[in-house]
């Protein structure tokens, strides 16, 4: 069965950096676009970024563009999110989410359990 397991969350000061990882299993990882979606405490869902199945295309929400970088290693079935210049407003649970097969724009069907990132002075 499809499994997505995030790791790397934690507490960091404003201006700091953090790298999230997502280990994927149960499907052909290299065939699917992958997304990160976040949810601030008590708030709604916010789409953050997507990467194409082959890693050649990415897109970001404006609020993180230039600070966050999505990447993938298809040989290891892993997705990453490098987060730099973190702000208090980046505090959220970050979900690794599977997108479409060979598609960048798609609904997302499988979600990880999420990893909490807290940015606090």
Partner 1 sequence: DIQMTQSPSILSASVGDRVTLTCRASQSFSKWLAWYQQKPGKAPNLLIYMASTLQSGVPSRFSGSGSGTEFTLTISSLQPDDFATYYCQQYKSFPCSFGQGTKLEIK
CB 49 within 8 A of CB 22: no
Check: CB of residue 81 under 8 Å from CB of residue 90. Answer: no
DSSP state of 65: B
| Least CB distance to partner 1 at residue 45 (A) | 4
Strand 115-119 relative to strand 10-12: parallel, antiparallel, unpaired? Answer: parallel
- Segment near partner 1 (CB under 8 A); pick from 21-29, 57-65, 68-76, 82-90: 57-65
Residues 67-106 binding partner 1 (CB under 8 A) are: 95, 105-106
Least distance CB 49 / partner 1 (angstroms): 9
Nearest to 6 by CA among 43, 48, 52: 48
Counting contacts by CB under 8 A, is residue 27 touching partner 1?
no
The one among 2, 27, 55, 59 contacting partner 1 by CB under 8 A: 59
Q: How far is the CB of 75 from partner 1 (least distance, A)?
A: 26
């Amino acid at each position: 069965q499809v499994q997505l397991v995030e790791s790397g969350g934690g507490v960091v000061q404003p201006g700091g950096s953090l790298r999230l990882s997502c280990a994927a299993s149960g499907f052909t990882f290299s065939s699917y676009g992958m997304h990160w979606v976040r949810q601030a405490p008590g708030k709604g869902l916010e789409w953050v970024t997507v990467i194409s199945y082959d890693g050649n295309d990415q897109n970001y929400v404006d609020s993180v563009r230039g600070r966050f970088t999505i990447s993938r290693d298809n040989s290891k079935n892993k997705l990453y999110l490098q987060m730099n210049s973190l702000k208090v407003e980046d505090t959220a649970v970050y979900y690794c989410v599977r997108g479409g097969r060979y598609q960048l724009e798609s609904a997302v069907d499988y979600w990880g359990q999420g990893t909490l990132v807290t940015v606090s002075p």
